[in-house]
Amino acid sequence: MSNRQLFLAGYILFPGNHFAGAWRHPYSERDFNDRGLFEDAARTLERAKFDMAFIPETLAYNPAFARYGLSNAVKHDPTQLASVIAGVTRHLGIGVTLSASFTAPYHLARTLGSLDQFSGGRVAWNIIMSRGAPTYANFPFVEELEREELYDRGDEVVEATVALWDSWQNDALVVDKATGVFVDPDKVTTPDYQGKYVQVKGPLTLPPSPQGKPVLIQAGDSPRGRQFGGKWAELVFAIENNEDDLRAKRNDLRRLAAEAGRDPDSIKLIAAVQPIVGETTEIARARQRYLTSLLDTDAAIAFLSHFVRTDFTGLSPDTNFTEAVGARSTDENAGVRLLDNLRNLAAGSGESLDGGLTLGEVAKTFSASEFTPQIVGSPSEVADQLVHLFEAEAVDGYVLSPTHFPGAFDDFARAVVPELQRRGVFRTEYSDTTLRGNIAGTKWTDGRR
């Protein structure tokens, strides 16, 4: 039997997430400023032995998203939310999304390093590259860069941040009352990092955490983004809607990791999924239909518009989607790629879209999951689907996108986790106190990656 174990994370995104109608679900909590809500969610994930709570980020207000309660309509500082979760858990990892485009390496290193220390070595940094006019308007001192150059700068930010984390050897902190030596200065180095975009002298004012440094996560899917992930990431977050695409991405990332001089087994693909669990198959399907009924058409069109960089608002929902793309899109390929993906999804479910999709139909289909695969069925059927992709080496684990928050985590924990444990693919107890130790089965020893 393989020793591989599934990685499981819960996506802490609200009031909507990959399902745009999440906050309207009758079982969804709605006070997203109540720390107790997130404490309860974290306890549920830890009780079920999840690897991580995954916290996304956005840096600009979107009026349409706020109007309809879509993703990130309410957005706390991820590091503050992480500290809430760390305070009520002892084993659960905490993935913190912070932009490498708008945050300086020293600030990143100290903020994440402090969280990693206070959590006992359970923090991960989800590295994102941010751009767009609304975001730049909030950070006028940051130079606007094109996508490729964003990743060039990102390489330097990560390299400098890791250098700061590595500036202390693991035994540099002496604290010897007899000799009066608190820190051995010979075991603290000054990185003095000088790049094209980033300069930082250092060293950091913190020793290493129990896991050495935060785990690195990445999600970029462009060729340059994948190269970045192959170089740096230990976990790569993916949204793909079929097994072949997941396997191809996983294989490509492993290849890129090897080309970067890394062990391919050191990089894991964690795929977003949206489980819809019912006591029976019929109940699960009914719940899936009910979720679709919660989607407001105008909200769905606003949601779609954001992701294809095309403003479809104001058009009739009955407009043929291809015609809507031609009428409004400044990036037609984005809309065409979306339509192709929807056709592929429909072909996989035995449906036909040859009659032509309307704008409203496309928007609702997209807003139901944002191409996050819906895993629908009884607990054993959901486990079957998750285990199949894992054992077929298409994925290394999953990030659960809840249909209602935070109750969907509890549903999965009670119904599906025991099925995964019975099949021997998911832990019954944590193996280590650190996130890196739990996901890799190894402990940090020397302060170097």
Q: DSSP string covering 28-72, please? A: ----TT-HHHHHHHHHHHHHTT-SEEEE----S--HHHHHHT-TT
Parallel/antiparallel/unpaired status of strands 193-194 and 199-200: antiparallel
Task: Look up tokens 């700061």; give the residue.
Answer: 164
Q: Which two tokens stand for residue 334?
A: 């984005």
Buried b (16+ CB within 10 A) or exposed e, 381-411: bbbebbbebbeeebbbbbbbbbbbbbbbbbb
E strand or H helix that includes residue 309:
none
Nearest CA-CA partner of 399 in 217, 151, 214: 217
Neighbours of 30 (CB within 10 A): 12
Q: How many whole angstroms from its chain centre is CA 336?
A: 26
Alpha-carbon Rg of the chain, whole angstroms? 22
> What residue ranges in 278-414 does DSSP mark as E strands?
374-377, 397-400
H-state helical runs in 34-177:
35-47, 63-68, 78-87, 105-118, 133-138, 147-165
Q: Is 97 annotated as a binding residue?
A: yes
Structural tokens at position 289: 């239909």
- Cα separation, 96 vs 356, whole angstroms: 41
**287/103 Cα distance (integer angstroms):** 41
User: Does 222 carry a binding-site annotation?
Assistant: yes
Residues annotated within the binding site are: 97, 151, 222
Residues annotated within the binding site for FMN are: 97, 151, 222
